């Protein structure tokens, strides 16, 4: 990021001061909102109560709200000038679903739902979207916006199952939207900092399942059976060995088997076995070659074991590719609103996946990493039972998103 980019996107100081002042006033509300969401999490596909709670908070702003199908997920619009009704509009997206993990924290706001927890920060994401809408609505009420804006907040279900973005797009969340911004908490990054990267940000991810059908029998007489467990274990070893050797070493592919299921008794060879896992890739060609190799592995194991081996692909999320101009806009805005040193360049893409990528098939967008490591929390990784965030990150992100929305409509940004 050079000085000309920063100057191009610089906001009036009075606007930046108003953002800071209103954020300080609203911060206690934002912490209470996040803690409520953390105490009452809902799994992917079941986010109806979360949707209703978030709708009630946005309804206080008297904004047009549309609840998506099945009562899961919603959008809200903040248009400060009627002339923008059919003009440019930027969206900010947050996800709202939790994970099937038992919350082991000692915090007063720990999950009250057994076996369900916001272990990926979606409670924080949702809070930040509402907080940003609140902040900008208050700026409109105080006449501190330097120019008109057009904003849509998207609160999306089912990110963890890679179904929520398509659900929201199907229900017109992107209608009239020209660009989109999202974020994800990052427990490896200090609170007050963000991570940014132009171009490729996350990997594409394919969920796969392999079914092995053989011929069961007695554990004492394996020669009379076609053992699907033998086929299953051979498949894992062969796939782990062959896929990395089939793909150009300059590209990155990660194959992981996360689930195996077979049999009911220690002395019975079952008729079938099943495994499932993920294939993550950073290029179209690497993905194609890896999938071809997995098909080859299936054919080879079927010949070796006399079992039927069937590979099927399930949920898929494309790679997230950050728009260059939006990334630079966000960088310049963060340098002004947070601190020039707050922006940390991400050197390599993440092998994690994000269904935010589906929005990017329709409009340009950018996703950033939000630092949440701090004195309040112990640094537990995402998707673990002790995960928590330094809640100061909520105010940082709301200020940054509010400023970025205003910057998007900057006279120098076309």
Residue 38 annotated as part of some ligand binding site: no
Query: Are 186 and 197 in contact, with CB atoms under 8 Å apart?
Result: no
Using only C-alpha atoms, what is the Rg of the chain? 24
Residue 223 annotated as part of some ligand binding site: no
Query: Are 199 and 321 in contact, with CB atoms under 8 Å apart?
Result: yes
Rounded CA-CA distance 203/326 in Å is 20
Give the DSSP H or E segment for 269.
strand 268-269
> Strand (E) positions, 170-229?
179-190, 194-196, 199-202, 204-213, 217-218
Query: Are 293 and 242 in contact, with CB atoms under 8 Å apart?
Result: yes
Rounded CA-CA distance 96/116 in Å is 13
Query: Are 164 and 82 in contact, with CB atoms under 8 Å apart?
Result: no
Rounded CA-CA distance 110/118 in Å is 9
Which ranges constitute the DSSP H helices of 40-149? 48-59, 122-141
Q: Which residue in the block uniquely carries the two structure tokens 């994401």? A: 125
Q: Which residue in the block uniquely carries the two structure tokens 């720990």? A: 110
Rounded CA-CA distance 272/262 in Å is 6
Residue 122 annotated as part of some ligand binding site: yes
How does DSSP classify residue 221?
-
| DSSP string over 310-327 | EEEEEEEEPPEEE-HHHH
Residue 170 annotated as part of some ligand binding site: no
In the structure encoding, which two tokens stand for residue 69, read together?
A: 């199908």
How does DSSP classify residue 215?
B
Query: Are 357 and 317 in contact, with CB atoms under 8 Å apart?
Result: yes
> Strand (E) positions, 30-178?
65-67, 74-79, 90-95, 150-156
Residue 232 annotated as part of some ligand binding site: no
Q: Which residues are annotated as a binding site?
A: 120, 122, 160, 184, 383
Q: Which residues are annotated as a binding site for Mn(2+)?
A: 120, 122, 160, 184, 383
């Amino acid at each position: 990021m050079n000085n000309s980019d920063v100057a191009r996107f610089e906001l009036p100081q009075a606007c930046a001061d108003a953002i800071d002042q209103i954020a300080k006033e609203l911060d206690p509300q934002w912490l209470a909102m996040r803690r409520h969401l953390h105490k009452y999490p809902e799994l992917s596909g079941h986010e109806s109560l979360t949707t209703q709670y978030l709708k009630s908070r946005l309804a206080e702003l008297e904004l047009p709200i549309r609840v998506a199908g099945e009562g899961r997920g919603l959008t809200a619009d903040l248009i400060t000038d009627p002339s923008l009704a059919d003009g440019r509009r930027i969206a900010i997206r947050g996800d709202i679903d939790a994970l099937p993990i038992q919350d082991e924290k000692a915090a007063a706001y720990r999950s009250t739902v057994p076996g369900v927890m916001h272990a990926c920060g979606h409670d924080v994401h949702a809070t930040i979207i509402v907080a940003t809408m609140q902040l900008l609505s208050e700026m409109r009420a105080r006449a501190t916006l330097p120019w008109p804006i057009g904003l849509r907040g998207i609160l999306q279900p089912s990110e963890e199952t890679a179904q929520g973005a398509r659900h929201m797009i199907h229900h017109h969340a992107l209608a009239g939207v020209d660009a989109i911004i999202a974020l994800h908490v990052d427990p490896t990054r200090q609170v007050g900092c963000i991570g940014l990267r132009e171009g490729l940000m996350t990997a594409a991810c394919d969920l796969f399942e392999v079914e092995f059908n053989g011929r069961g029998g007695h554990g004492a007489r394996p020669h009379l059976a076609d053992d699907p467990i033998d086929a299953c274990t051979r498949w894992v070893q062969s796939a782990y060995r062959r896929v990395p050797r089939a793909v150009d070493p300059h590209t990155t592919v990660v194959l992981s088997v996360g689930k195996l299921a077979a049999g009911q008794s220690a002395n019975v060879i079952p008729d079938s076995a099943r495994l499932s896992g993920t294939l993550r890739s950073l290029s179209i060609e690497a993905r194609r070659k890896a999938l071809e190799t997995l098909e080859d592995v299936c054919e080879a194991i079927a010949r070796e074991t006399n079992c039927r081996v069937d590979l099927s692909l399930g949920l898929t999320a494309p790679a997230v590719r950050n728009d260059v101009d939006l990334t630079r806009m966000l960088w310049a805005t963060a340098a002004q609103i947070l601190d020039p040193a707050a922006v940390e360049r991400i050197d390599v893409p993440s092998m994690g996946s994000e269904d935010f990528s589906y929005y990017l098939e329709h409009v340009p967008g950018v996703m950033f990493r939000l630092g949440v490591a701090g004195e309040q929390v112990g640094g537990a990784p995402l998707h673990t039972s002790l995960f928590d965030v330094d809640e100061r990150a909520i105010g940082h992100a709301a200020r940054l998103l509010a400023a970025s929305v205003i910057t998007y409509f900057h006279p120098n940004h076309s």
